[in-house]
Amino acid sequence: MALKANEIKKHVIGGADVKRAPAPLYVGEHDGEMWATNRYWLTRAERVAPLLEQYNLSASEPGGFEVNGTVRRATGAHQISPQPPNFDAFMRSQRDYAPGVPVRVAGQQAYTRHERFGLYAAYILADGSYAGLNADTLEWLSDTMTAPLPEQEDGTYLRYGDLRVSFHRAAQGGITAMVSAEVIHVIERSRYTDKVEGEKQEYVPAVEEACEPRVLGIMMGMNYGA
């Protein structure tokens, strides 16, 4: 289920002051799929499609867009290029990710508050340092309901498994997080047979196999340090 256009626009704008200048949105191709970014996060373009379609624009065509009260193709003004960045180069540069552990207080996720950008979910990184992820963006990228899996043509289907948030620290200290999910190929669904054992019908579990994890999104994080 896709978000409504205005909800997507909030994710694109973030905390930017669009009264002074529009926020950027880029759509481009990587590995045969269309992706979208506002420079702070990156996800498949299908997630921003309802916003673009509201203004008769397409998420299946590469380009840069200006986003404020409306959405229009970029002209080169406001340092927003009409052409998208090199998505291949960006994706190749994202490597050496390591899982992060949520900071919990009394069993609940801990948050910090940024004066401008709201709540940030706190994580402990593999090197013992701390990082924060914008809670609204993290929730959006983690929502598998807005990131449907490809349909299978042989009667089987794919489903999501567990989510994972991994982190990469650049040489300059910047933090990037990758939100990914396990993907399970369901070859045969679980079922009950007509055979009765005792007082219960015989249960046959599903036949499944693990597939490559699916990247749901990449986002910039806040470096809290050690």
Domain segments of the chain as ranges: 5-93, 98-225
Q: What letter represents residue 54's amino acid?
A: Q
Q: For residue range 182-201, list pLDDT tens digits in order.
A: 999 998 888 887 777 666 78
Q: Is 38 or 90 the better-scoring residue by pLDDT?
A: 38
The DSSP annotation for 15-69 comes to T--TTTSPEEEEEEEETTEEEEE-SSEEEEGGGTHHHHHHTT--TTS-EEEEESS
Per-residue confidence (pLDDT) for residue 94, from 0 to 100? 62
Average model confidence (pLDDT) for the chain?
A: 90
Q: How high is the pLDDT of residue 226?
A: 59
What letter would DSSP give residue 127?
T
| Alpha carbons 132 and 135: distance in angstroms, whole number | 9
CA dihedral 165, 149, 23, 218 (to 10 degrees): 20
Question: Which helix (DSSP H) or strand (DSSP E) does residue 176 occupy?
Answer: strand 175-188
Average pLDDT rounded to a whole number, residues 65-69: 94
pTM summary value: 0.88
- Judged by DSSP in three states, 13 sits in helix
**Residue 139 DSSP symbol:** H
Higher pLDDT, 220 or 90: 220
Tokens representing 95 are 């490597």
- Confidence check: pLDDT of 114 > 90: no
- The more confident residue out of 50 and 188 is 50
pLDDT interval class at 52 (50, 70, 90): very high
Q: What pLDDT, on the 0 to 100 scale, is given for residue 138?
A: 96
- pLDDT category of residue 208 using cuts at 50, 70 and 90: confident
Q: What is the mean pLDDT of residues 113-142?
A: 92
3-state SS class at 78: helix
113 CB burial (10 A radius; 0-12, 13-18, 19+) = exposed
Res 95: pLDDT: 66
Residues 155/165, Cβ–Cβ less than 8 Å: no
199 or 214: whose pLDDT is higher?
Answer: 214
Distance CA 26, CA 46 (A): 13
Specify the pLDDT at position 100: 94
Helix (H) or strand (E) holding 94: none
pLDDT attached to residue 93: 63
The more confident residue out of 206 and 60 is 60
Q: Is the pLDDT of residue 225 over 80?
A: no
| Confidence class for position 181, pLDDT limits 50, 70, 90 | very high
